[in-house]
Structure 1
Amino acid sequence: MKRDDSLWKSLLEDIFDDFLQFFIPDAEQIFDFDKGFVFLDKELNQLFPPAEDEFQPRYVDKLIKVFTRQGTEAWILVHIEVQGYRDNAFAKRMYEYYARIFDKYQQSVVAFAILTDRYRSFKPEFYESSLLGTTLTYRYNVYKVIEQDQALLSQNPNPFAVVIMTVLLALQKRRLTETQLFDLKVDLAKRLLIRSYSKPKIRTLLNFLRFYIRFENPDSISKFDEQIDTITNQPKNMGLEEFLLYRAEKLGMRQGLAQGIEQQNKLFIQNLLTQTDFTVEKIASLVGVSTDVVVKIKTTLEQA
């Protein structure tokens, strides 16, 4: 699940404007998008330190400061359940997030819970506590991916709709053959590429599609990348930086197919370090690893 965590975190930072417009139809009238967004990961980690035990349930949490058109600040808490199992403590945890954030920062919080599990009966929509006439009820926005209509999503022009379609396809994976999954994944990529999105957003969505839905057979990975190359003709229309990133990624992936995901990531990082001028932080975000991993590989290259 760590890879999914990294994918979601990077995705939200790349298309957070689309996220807001997907869930809040009049978002542009409420928020001043020109002022950008402030991602408060450090502040959130201070309130909720990550568990050291890698086997503990993992969640994707983002705290983002946005600015309204009235000039005030608003804080958006995005809490995404990616563990894929029923959790009776979920609603209580959502309340604890709200309570700690409000207690420390005295800021209003808008909370979203995006549930990506496959259990239709699991949909915690509020937390309630009551004792001797004293009652507390905390409600938040809940979006259950498995309940969504594929046809309606395909008609939605918002880029975040492609994200939800990707998750829906991932939920179908266990019922599909590798060939069926391949065909559906390529079809989703084609539908994405005919939309009039900016190149950075297309690249973000393609990477989410590529890594969120994984093939069991390494040959399918290579074949899918070749299909995307054919559809997009990427090398013909790239700027220098885009081409260097593309070449580094392709070389790292093709060399790493037979060597496992960890080695694949290592090769990808090595190529980014040697063929681009990206920062350690940017490379870590692109690959979905910690900066410590990138620094270690960078040091090894420098000592070679």
Structure 2
Amino acid sequence: MPNATPPARYDLPWKAALTHAFHAFMAFFFPALCAQIDWSQRPRFRDKELEGICLGSQPDGMVADKLVEVALRDGRVHWLLIHVEVQAQRDATLARRVFDYNYRIFSQYERPVASLVLLADEDFHWRPCAFHNEVPGTVMGISFSIAKLMDYATKTDELMTSHNPFAWITLAHLQTQQARHDPDRLYATKWRLTKLLYQHGWRKQRIITLFKVINWMMALPEPYQQRYWQALLKLEKERKMAWITPLEQSFIDKGWQQGLKKGLQQGLQQGLERGLKQGLERGTKQGREQGLEQGLEQGLEQGLEQGLEQGLELGLLQGRKEGALAVLERQLTRRFGALPKRTRRKLAEASLEQLEAWSDRLPEAQSLKQLFE
């Protein structure tokens, strides 16, 4: 089905959002703990340390996993490690996994650990919040705090008016779940949420981060996505706010056109050469004069058909790569400043798959070295 909706992606949006606005996340989902944190001391993300405590492959449905070091106001515990999970589907092993992580983090760092779980699945009644094992004389286990996205499913008006960015992200997540099989409804929802970005007075970096969140999460079929880009360009011109460049909007805009032209030329040439060769071979077999004429005619026809097909395929691939390269170079320059020649050369020599992988990794990268590791 050409207009089938691509699968929604929840991992990158939540990871990027948590890193970008952790204070807002805590204030929205876990306000009691948020009030006890001394936010004058900047939280420290311990993602690399968390990777070292990994319990194996990522469990099904876990879309984000963060370890953050914060200071408390009362001074009783100078530092507290907060382990956050975002779980997008039911998992019978969740509570046990939270217990295992909590114990391992405490054992390694000898600091108290608060385990928080955001349940982003679609089962209203699934709310695991404890794991205990009791035998005579011994009780072992953990009780942990949870928040449930489904609790906000009937609070659309409240979410739309809230200034907290995680109200907007919650709305995007819930409405993606509701509309993911209906491209018309998904497009309308994505466009409504995009316009809402302008109404909160958020700074440019926050708007760009949230735009990426919605673009990753609310994946549209290509015709709908092109329509979305065009509407976005028009909206930006009307409001005179260009927080996403045309290259970032169309992703392959100029590169696609250049690549398509180049691919068509190459494909036509290759297809015509192959078609002529095959036509000449057939013509020789059928007879020097009549067969050759028929063979050439068939060869030209086949060559043109193959050339167009190959040209479109090569053009699309080349265009996507050039577009991805242009976007990534621009984003890296904005983030890290002027790029060294060796970095530009590395980007130019990379495959489309590698460029896309680096683009996905960019929100969490703290340096060029970390990005390319």
Partner residue of 2:3?
A: none
* Counterpart selection for 2:127 from 108, 123, 133: 123
Partner residue of 1:287?
A: 359
Distance change >3 Å, CA 78–CA 274, structure 1 → 2? closer
* Counterpart selection for 1:81 from 77, 84, 87: 87
TM-score by length of 2: 0.65
What letter matches 2:72 in structure 1? T
Larger Rg: 2
For residue 33 of structure 1, give the secondary structure of its aligned residue in structure 2. coil
Deviations 1:190-246 (A, max 9, x none): 22321122221121112111210111x2011121122233333499445xxx67xx3
Distance change >3 Å, CA 35–CA 172, structure 1 → 2? same
Distance change >3 Å, CA 235–CA 195, structure 1 → 2? closer
* Structure 2: tracts of 5 or more residues without a match: 1-6, 258-312, 344-354
CA distance in 2, matches of 1:261, 1:144: 41
Compute the RMSD of aligned alpha carbons: 3.7
Matched, 1:132 2:136: yes
Distance change >3 Å, CA 113–CA 56, structure 1 → 2? closer
What letter matches 1:130 in structure 2? E
Alignment of structure 1 residues 26-105 onto 2, 5 Å? 29-48=35-54, 51=57, 58-70=62-74, 72-82=78-88, 84=89, 86-105=90-109
What letter matches 1:223 in structure 2? R
- Indicate the percent of aligned positions where both proteins have the same amino acid: 22
What count of residue pairs does the alignment treat as equivalent?
283
Partner residue of 2:185?
A: 180
CA distance in 1, matches of 2:215, 2:208: 10
What displacement does 1:49 show?
A: 5.9
Q: Give yes or no for contact 1:77–1:109 (8 Å, CA) kept in 2.
A: yes
TM-score by length of 1: 0.78
* Structure 1: tracts of 5 or more residues without a match: 299-304
Q: Give yes or no for contact 2:132–2:142 (8 Å, CA) kept in 1.
A: yes
Partner residue of 2:231?
A: 227
What letter matches 2:179 in structure 1? K
For residue 135 of structure 1, give the secondary structure of its aligned residue in structure 2. strand
What displacement does 1:127 show?
A: 0.9
Deviations 1:137-169 (A, max 9, x none): 411111221232323322322111111001101
Distance change >3 Å, CA 171–CA 56, structure 1 → 2? closer
CA distance in 2, matches of 1:265, 1:20: 38
Partner residue of 2:17?
A: 11
Deviations 1:80-123 (A, max 9, x none): 113x3x21111100111111111111112222211222222322
Matched, 1:273 2:272: no
Q: Give yes or no for contact 1:115–1:145 (8 Å, CA) kept in 2.
A: yes
For residue 70 of structure 2, give the secondary structure of its aligned residue in structure 1. strand
What letter matches 1:268 in structure 2? A
Partner residue of 1:107?
A: 111
Distance change >3 Å, CA 185–CA 260, structure 1 → 2? farther
